[in-house]
Structure 1
Amino acid sequence: MQQNGLGEGCIGGRAHACRAIAALSRSSEGRLIPQERRAITEPGVSAAVEPDEARDAMPTSDCAAGDTGELCAPMKDMELGMQRSFFNASREFPEVISLNVGGKYFTTRLSTLRRFEDGVLAAMFSGRHHLLLDAEGRYFIDRDGTYFGDILNFLRSGELPQRERVLAVYIEAQYYGIGPLLENLEATQPLTGEKVRQAFLGLLPYYKENLKRIMEIAKLRAVHRKARFAKLKICVYKEEMPITPYERPPFSTLPLERPESEAKLFKHQCEVDVSFGPWEGVADVYDLLHCIVGDLAERGVAAEQQCIGVCDKHLISHYYCKRPIYEFKITWW
């Protein structure tokens, strides 16, 4: 396993040791020469070399002269010694582990925590990392322990959480890096439905930006009026251009197309605060309204909506806009 860009062999607690050895191996000509003891010479002046300095300047029998990129024998012994010290210092865990996860206590087997080798829990209890202990000697994990029991149940027997806990457990499974649990949760509701919903919202231009704009406008109006709610006008339309019943294409066929010169006559901005649309898909206006209200609720904003009419702007000939206009009531407390 390779961590933090370090080379192979520099894992966990060995990182500092590897850096130190690598720095030593880059010393001039593969030998250790203290900076303060190097003789300073000038052109034409011979410098006297003390016996100790001469010994330092000569290659040892264990280190060949020249920078070959190889570690000399003493340095290799030093690296091996550091490796042995590291592995000897690895913690030996008991078979039964007591955990304190954000103030909630759990007891499980060591083999359960190590079930998936590429997970965070397996890495934590591999002996390569320093773990904190609480006052009672339990291993401490600085994470909300509300859903940690669901994580343990999956590690023990493959049990999945109840539907109302799936989203929260999914977030925890991402933190602990438990791939099999993530795959199982993604194949269940409500995560499967959320994937379908996001695929639909991907058809709408500026959806997230419009949600942000709704919240900003509602906040400014509520503060200005010093009221607990604010009202906005929002246009939600599916078709690119208004069409008459006689021009409406059959279901599941290509949308109505007009020449570019004529299409420009239909383009306008409805007198509303925010507009959603157009999009091409089976989902209709009411599906989008449901998404808007739900996503605002996820952001802590209570929203109610009702249709108050249509845009009556006259375009050309007998064409009017007729896009539906909805009034959104945003309540802040």
Structure 2
Amino acid sequence: MLLGFLVLTVYRALMSLTSTPQNMRPSPPTVSTVVELNIGGQIYTTTMGTLRKLPGSKLTEMFCSSTKACTDAEGRFFIDRPGTYFGAILDYLRSGQVPTQHIPEVYREAQFYEIQPLVKLLEDTPQIFGEQVARKQFLLRVPGYSENLELLLRLARAEAVAVRQSSVVVCVMRTEEEATRCAQPLHSLEARKMPVVKFGPWKVGPEIKDLLYCVEMDIKAQGYQVSCGSYYLDHAHRAKVTDCFHIFTFTWW
């Protein structure tokens, strides 16, 4: 009897040493919830951990907010954005992969979702640097560029009544001296009711050919079919204003 009691006591002691209290046992690793997303009709599968990876981003805000997320008929989280380039956003969040294709489109989505590290990386690419930094600074030197571009389009549309093509004359004056020389030809064109848009003068700014390239590119970016050429004044004015007058011709049908 005594031997049996001793064996039982030793066994209980060993069990107390090898067992761990419930509240002291290590917790199992947290598994991030797998979710399906419907981004503008395209379906993506990822995890909450990936979506919440960057504190301060719009995605983190969307999926950490107490506000109930929008869902589609299948119960998937729905975001009303183009879905084509969202995969590139997920690839960056998953592995830090920076896209090498469709840079401008991914850049816009990264801005929308406020993925700031990716935004900064894309701004260093030639495509975004050229458009957002170099060209933008270039055009800031031209007073009233956006307003003049809008005026040019309004005049072209006003002239496009029952005609296949319409034209607008553009006068580019880099300096005050050129503006003075252009005054008389401009007065003559206005007397003939020719639609004219004036750019300049500016103190330090772009070359005329570069400015005209920007104007043409920005018009075509809005879906217009346009071409640019030199506008030939009469002989009395031509020599005084070489390279200042140009014509933009719009084809409508």
TM score, norm. by length of structure 2: 0.75
Contact 1:312 / 1:322 at 8 angstroms: preserved in 2?
A: no
Q: 1:267 to 1:140 in 2, by over 3 A?
A: closer
CA-based RMSD = 2.6
Structure 2 partner of 1:325 = 245
Corresponding residue for residue 303 of structure 1? 226
What is the CA distance between 1:332 and its match in structure 2? 2.8
Distance (Å, rounded) in 1 between the aligned partners of 2:149 and 2:185: 18
- Which residue of structure 1 lines up, in the alignment, with residue 71 of structure 2? 133
* Superposition map of 1:18-57 within 5 A: none
Correspondence for 1:151 among 66, 72, 89: 89
Whether 1:116 aligns to 2:116 is: no
- Is the CA contact (8 Å cut-off) linking 2:89 and 2:110 kept in structure 1? yes
Q: Any stretches of 5+ residues in structure 1 without a counterpart?
A: 1-92, 243-262
Give the AA of the match of 1:137. G
Matches within 5 A, 1:94-105: 95-105=33-43
How many Å separate the matches in 2 of 1:141 and 1:117?
19
Residue in 2 that maps onto 1:38? none
Residues 1:229 and 2:165 are matched in the alignment:
yes
Compared with structure 1, are the counterparts of its residues 285 and 167 closer, same or farther at alpha carbon in structure 2 (3 Å cutoff)? same
In structure 2, relative to structure 1, the CA distance for the partners of 1:162 and 1:229 (3 Å cut) is farther
Residue type at the aligned position of 1:228: R
Q: Distance in 1 between matches of 2:236 and 2:110?
A: 52
Identity of aligned residues (%): 38
2:106 maps to what in 1?
169
Q: Distance in 2 between matches of 1:126 and 1:112?
A: 12
Question: What is the CA–CA distance in structure 1 between the aligned matches of 2:164 and 2:118, rounded to whole Å?
Answer: 42
Give how far 1:139 is off: 1.6
Distance in 1, Cα, partners of 2:170 & 2:182: 17
The answer on whether the counterparts of 1:311 and 1:323 sit within 8 Å (CA) in structure 2 is no
User: In structure 1, the residue corresponding to 2:55 is in which secondary structure?
Assistant: coil
Letter in 1 for 2:112: Y
Residues 174, 205 of structure 2: 8 Å contact kept: no
Q: SS at 1:146's partner residue?
A: coil
Residue 116 (structure 2) aligns with = 179
For residues 31-67 of structure 1, give each alpha carbon's deviation from its aligned partner in whole angstroms, at most 9, with x where no partner exists: xxxxxxxxxxxxxxxxxxxxxxxxxxxxxxxxxxxxx
Deviation track 1:97-152 (CA, whole Å, cap 9, x = no partner) reads: 11111110001122111110111111222252211332323222222211111111
Corresponding residue pairs, total: 214
Q: Please report how far the alpha carbon of residue 322 of structure 1 lies from its aligned counterpart in structure 2 after TM superposition.
A: 3.8
Contact 2:138/2:205, CA 8 A, preserved across alignment: no
Q: 2:176 aligns with which of 236, 240, 245?
A: 240
- Structure 1 residue 94: Cα displacement: 5.5
TM-score (norm 1): 0.58
Q: Does 1:196 align with 2:134?
A: yes
CA distance in 2, matches of 1:269, 1:167: 44
1:183 Cα offset (Å): 0.9
User: 1:221-263 CA distances to partner (integer Å, 9 max, x unpaired)?
Assistant: 112xx12320121112323214xxxxxxxxxxxxxxxxxxxx9
Mapped contact 1:95–1:110 kept (Cα < 8 A): yes
1:266 Cα deviation from its structure 2 partner = 5.2
Instruction: Write the distance in 2 (CA, Å) between the matches of 1:97 and 1:269.
Output: 69
List alignment gaps of at least 5 residues for structure 2.
1-30, 190-195
CA contact (8 A) 1:311 1:324 kept: no
Q: Which residue of 2 aligns with 1:290?
A: 213
Change (3 A) 1:269 1:139: farther
Counterpart of 1:287 in 2: which secondary structure? helix
